[in-house]
């Protein structure tokens, strides 16, 4: 009966191996789907300009005296700036 026990153990080991293989294949498929989505996202960012790569932040330009004068004059005519002593 030792042969029957060995066969039973072998069958159990084989069944476990098959089960593990099926699990691994499912994990591999899921991983492949995730990688495909990541590739699609990267491609859309590159084409759509959503990526920050290669972009240089804009530096603020210092306002010249002339530009300052024009801005204040415009704000005063629009009522945005008030230079009166009492603030009214």
| Residue ranges per structural domain of the chain | 23-48
The pTM is what?
Answer: 0.44
Who contacts 71 (Cβ-Cβ below 8 Å, separation ≥6)? 63
pLDDT tens digits for 24-37?
A: 999 999 999 999 99
Number of residues written out for the chain = 88
Over residues 52-70, the pLDDT tens digits come to: 666 777 788 899 999 999 9
Query: Smallest Cα–Cα separation from 69: which of 87, 85, 81?
Result: 81
């Amino acid at each position: 009966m030792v042969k029957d026990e060995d066969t039973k153990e072998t069958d159990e080991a084989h069944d476990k191996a098959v089960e593990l293989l099926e699990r691994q294949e499912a994990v591999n498929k899921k991983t492949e789907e995730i990688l495909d989505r990541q590739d699609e996202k990267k491609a859309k960012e590159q084409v759509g300009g959503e990526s920050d790569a290669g972009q240089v932040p804009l530096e603020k330009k210092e306002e010249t005296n002339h530009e300052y004068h024009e801005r204040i004059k415009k704000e005063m005519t629009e009522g945005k700036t008030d230079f009166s002593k009492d603030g009214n």
